[in-house]
Amino acid sequence: MDFTLKIWRQENARTKGQFHTYHVTGISPDCSFLEMLDILNQQLIDKIEKPVCFDHDCREGICGACSLYINGRPHGPDDGITTCQLHMRRFSDKSTIVIEPWRARPFPVIKDLIVDRSAFDKIIAAGGFISVSTGGVPDANAIPVPKENAEIAMDAAACIGCGACVAVCKNASAMLFVAAKVSQFAKLPQGRIEAKERVKKMIAKMDELGFGSCTNTGACEAECPKNISISHIARLNREYLAAKIR
């Protein structure tokens, strides 16, 4: 398979970027998207040109680092996957593929396709944790948790913090991310102790960092690689309202 790639190149956050066009040929349909970029970079290196910088780590759909905007969609044309799980058979032979970084003010470009997503880390640091006493490990069944609550918490905890929800949102809202991180504690007894302070601090930090507000378009849920439900946003709003009233 042969492809024309229009890739965003930008030296750093302070410089102006632009699209560069590249051609790759002989790509196997079973090749992953990141492997295709590896092939392109090897060709650029062989020609003594600067390779395209893109982020990746596990390449197993777990870390969320492979955050690319591909043909107008976060992580590309497939549903429920990250970029590293996308294969070239999802594209037509001799087609043009447009590749960009996330577009959001809280995610400044570091270089080319890599953005700084440390804003998510700051939100987590603001309140996305529980305080526990150190000591012996308690039995797993020491605190009974209803099965439904445990499943909801596990579904929320599946969020990998890739930022696709922010990238696709017209307001660059981080509500789905924050909601998932609040929900994973809100449905468990261990997370109720700090529930009021947690939700207030995380939302305050989200606003401070410049993320937009949610207008319930549902785009975040549609593009989330882990299929996080926007029902968690409703829970976040309830938790926040209850915390402010009390």
Residue at a domain's end among 66, 100, 134: 100
Within a domain: 111: no
* Average pLDDT in the chain: 93
Per-residue confidence (pLDDT) for residue 214, from 0 to 100: 93
Model confidence pLDDT, tens digit, residues 27-47:
999 999 999 999 999 999 999
Burial zone of 25 (CB within 10 Å; 0-12 exposed, 13-18 middle, 19+ buried): exposed
Per-residue confidence (pLDDT) for residue 237, from 0 to 100: 94
Is it the case that residue 136 has pLDDT exceeding 80? no
User: Does residue 20 sit in the same domain as residue 96?
Assistant: yes
Within a domain: 159: yes
Check if the beta carbon of residue 20 is closer than 8 Å to that of residue 53: no
Q: How confident is the model at residue 128 (pLDDT cuts 50, 70, 90)?
A: confident
Q: How confident is the model at residue 24 (pLDDT cuts 50, 70, 90)?
A: very high
User: Does residue 136 sit in the same domain as residue 92?
Assistant: no
Check if the beta carbon of residue 168 is closer than 8 Å to that of residue 103: no
Percent of the chain with pLDDT over 90: 87
User: Does residue 203 sit in the same domain as residue 129?
Assistant: yes
Per-residue confidence (pLDDT) for residue 50, from 0 to 100: 95
Per-residue confidence (pLDDT) for residue 129, from 0 to 100: 85
Check if the beta carbon of residue 88 is closer than 8 Å to that of residue 28: yes
Is it the case that residue 135 has pLDDT exceeding 90? no
Residue at a domain's end among 100, 129, 144: 100
Within a domain: 105: no
Per-residue confidence (pLDDT) for residue 239, from 0 to 100: 93
Domain that holds residue 226: 118-245
User: Does residue 147 sit in the same domain as residue 63?
Assistant: no
Is it the case that residue 227 has pLDDT exceeding 90? yes
User: Does residue 59 sit in the same domain as residue 145?
Assistant: no
Check if the beta carbon of residue 81 is closer than 8 Å to that of residue 225: yes
Specify the number of domains making up the chain.
2
- Helix, strand, coil percentages (3-state) for the chain, rounded to 5, are 40, 15, 50
The stretch 4-21 carries a mean pLDDT of: 95
Q: Residue 209's domain is classified under what CATH number? A: 1.10.1060.10
User: Does residue 191 sit in the same domain as residue 217?
Assistant: yes
Is it the case that residue 204 has pLDDT exceeding 80? yes
User: Does residue 75 sit in the same domain as residue 142?
Assistant: no
State the DSSP string of 163-185: -HHHHH-TT-B-HHHHHHHHHHH
User: Does residue 77 sit in the same domain as residue 166?
Assistant: no
Q: How confident is the model at residue 225 (pLDDT cuts 50, 70, 90)?
A: very high
Cα 192 to Cα 203: distance, rounded to the nearest angstrom: 17
Percent of the chain with pLDDT over 70: 99
Residue at a domain's end among 54, 74, 100: 100
User: Does residue 29 sit in the same domain as residue 136?
Assistant: no
Higher pLDDT, 197 or 141: 197
Check if the beta carbon of residue 153 is closer than 8 Å to that of residue 179: no
Check if the beta carbon of residue 135 is closer than 8 Å to that of residue 206: no
Is it the case that residue 12 has pLDDT exceeding 70? yes
Is it the case that residue 87 has pLDDT exceeding 80? yes
User: Does residue 91 sit in the same domain as residue 122?
Assistant: no
User: Does residue 143 sit in the same domain as residue 210?
Assistant: yes
Within a domain: 112: no
Structure tokens at 109: 């470009």
Within a domain: 162: yes
- CA proximity to 113, closest of 45, 188, 49, 167: 167
Within a domain: 113: no
User: Does residue 143 sit in the same domain as residue 214?
Assistant: yes
Judged by DSSP in three states, 154 sits in helix
Looking at residue 239, the DSSP 8-state letter turns out to be H
Within a domain: 109: no
Judged by DSSP in three states, 59 sits in coil
Model confidence pLDDT, tens digit, residues 143-200:
888 999 999 999 999 999 999 999 999 999 999 999 999 999 999 988 888 999 999 9
Q: Residue 15's domain is classified under what CATH number? A: 3.10.20.30
Within a domain: 108: no
Per-residue confidence (pLDDT) for residue 47, from 0 to 100: 95
Per-residue confidence (pLDDT) for residue 190, from 0 to 100: 86
